Amino acid sequence: SSGINAEWPLRPGKGTVLINNADELKNFSVDEEKLVEGQVQALAEAGITCVVSGGKVGDMMMHFANKFNIMVVRLMSKWDLRRLCKSINATALPNLTVPSPEETGDCSIIQLEEVGDTTVVVFRQEREESAMSTIIIRGSTENIMDDIERAIDDGVNSVKVLTRDQRCLPGAAATEIELAKQLMSYGEQTPGMEQYAIRKFAEAFEVFPKILAENTGLKGNEVLAKMYNAHQDQVSGINAGINLESDQCEVMDVVERQVFDLFLTKHWGIKYAVNAATTVLVVDQIIMAKQAGGPKPRKGQADPDDE
């Protein structure tokens, strides 16, 4: 295993050196070398075999690091530095000091590898449990790799949400159509002007199946009609969703096909959308900024106020 101490920058700030005679000038560089060598030797005696720096490393530091067989890695990104410290259980130090055993990280293998045409430094943990992982995406174009990255990000976030709440809902717009149908029924039973607001709120849920249908080349109105017809059955039709794998406009039982959406995603999405809509409706006054003084006089005619 390799001990890792992050970070190792140059000594910050500027200093003034006062030299009174030639001997002090001659011994100045010698004393500096002894100081740097002592610092690096202390790290080597503490069992440090790799140092990760968040800043520049001087040539003298590199010389003595090579002398004591200490690997130096320069990592300028603070985000990457914190991520590395978390993965190897290390503590970032602001100054060059010998770390304590609690501050020293541990990594199984540190080596250079080539990923495509890029040379990277790989920190690999051989134990089964690790606090961090890196996924390398390869593709022929940037657009393909961006799509893969978004897919991986959605999958990882879905797993994170499932660790908080394992409840799922029928996907493929089955939940939205069922909500729209029940809201329509509730609006018809509500007296007064509120029924129109409830019906419009129910129609807003029809956006989801329309977008799914248009993205797959289907007609949105035809999909809505078939889904509303399927959801009339209170037993088997409640899980009817769009069959996106079919070339025709078809519905399917999403529970049998195991197409689900996360409950928390639906819950917070609807909640934020409703809050945004109610906030817009609460605003009953619009303030417009315009120049003071009234309208400008027409060209070629005298202002009647000047007469």
C-beta of residue 45 within 8 angstroms of C-beta of residue 70: no
Q: Which of the four pLDDT bands, split at 50, 70 and 90, describes residue 6?
A: very low
Is the predicted pLDDT of residue 116 greater than 80, yes or no? no
Q: What pLDDT is attached to residue 152?
A: 92
Q: What is the DSSP string of 16-63?
A: -----SHHHHHHHHHHHHHHHHHHHHHHHHTTEEEEEESS---HHHHH
Other C-beta atoms closer than 10 Å to the C-beta of 239 total: 23
Q: What pLDDT is attached to residue 10?
A: 46
Interstrand relation of 251-253 and 118-124 (parallel, antiparallel or unpaired): unpaired
Q: Which residue has the higher pLDDT, 288 or 105?
A: 105
Q: What pLDDT is attached to residue 2?
A: 46
Dist CA 270 CA 201 (whole Å): 11
Dist CA 39 CA 51 (whole Å): 13
Q: Over the stretch 120-146, which tens digit does the pLDDT of each residue have? A: 888 888 777 776 778 888 888 889 999
Instruction: Give the residue from 203, 198, 178 showing the smallest Cα distance to 188.
Output: 198
Is the predicted pLDDT of residue 1 greater than 50, yes or no? no
Angle at 152 between CA 149 and CA 156, to 5 degrees: 140
Q: What pLDDT is attached to residue 292?
A: 62
Q: Whole-prediction pTM value?
A: 0.57
- The pLDDT mean for the chain works out to 80
Q: What pLDDT is attached to residue 189?
A: 87
Task: Please state whether 103 falls in left (phi above 0), alpha (psi between -120 and 50) or beta.
Answer: alpha
C-beta of residue 83 within 8 angstroms of C-beta of residue 26: no
- For the chain, count helices (H), then strands (E): 9, 10
% pLDDT > 90, the chain? 4
Q: Which of the four pLDDT bands, split at 50, 70 and 90, describes residue 46?
A: confident
